[in-house]
Amino acid sequence: MDIPNYVFKTHFSLLAIGNLSDRNSPGIPVDNIMIHFDYQGKSFKAGEILQQQDITMTLSEGDIINFPFDVYFGDFYLAAEITGTNATNPG
């Protein structure tokens, strides 16, 4: 965490589930997908392992003066979309 610049770095582990997951290889996407973390995006191809991601987020407010009891706030969004259909999964 970079407190003076209000930047927070976190680690996400990703896993394809449901209709996005290969029945023979659970957790592996059957289609090309794009994961959006705030303003950062990462593409994954069908059949590719979803690598863990380090994501940097900006905090909206906080008070460094209250250390070690300081509190910080921030918002982020996480979304996934299919960016291409694999020929083996036309659905």
Helix/strand/coil (H/E/C) assignment for every residue in 12-67: ECCCCCHHHECCCCCCCECCEEEEEECCEEEEECCCCCCCCEEEEEECCEECHHHC
Examine residue 21 and state whether it is found in any structural domain, yes or no.
yes
| Domain-located, residue 46 | yes
pTM above 0.85, yes or no: no
Q: Residue 21 pLDDT more than 60?
A: yes
Q: Is residue 45 part of a domain?
A: yes
Average pLDDT of the residues in 6-29? 83
Domain range for residue 29? 3-84
Predicted confidence (pLDDT) at residue 89 exceeds the cutoff of 70:
no
Q: What is the mean pLDDT of residues 9-14?
A: 82
The string of pLDDT tens digits covering residues 36-87 is 887 778 888 899 888 888 888 777 777 777 777 778 787 778 888 888 765 4
Kindly tell me if the per-residue pLDDT of 88 is higher than 60.
no
Q: How many domains does the chain have?
A: 1
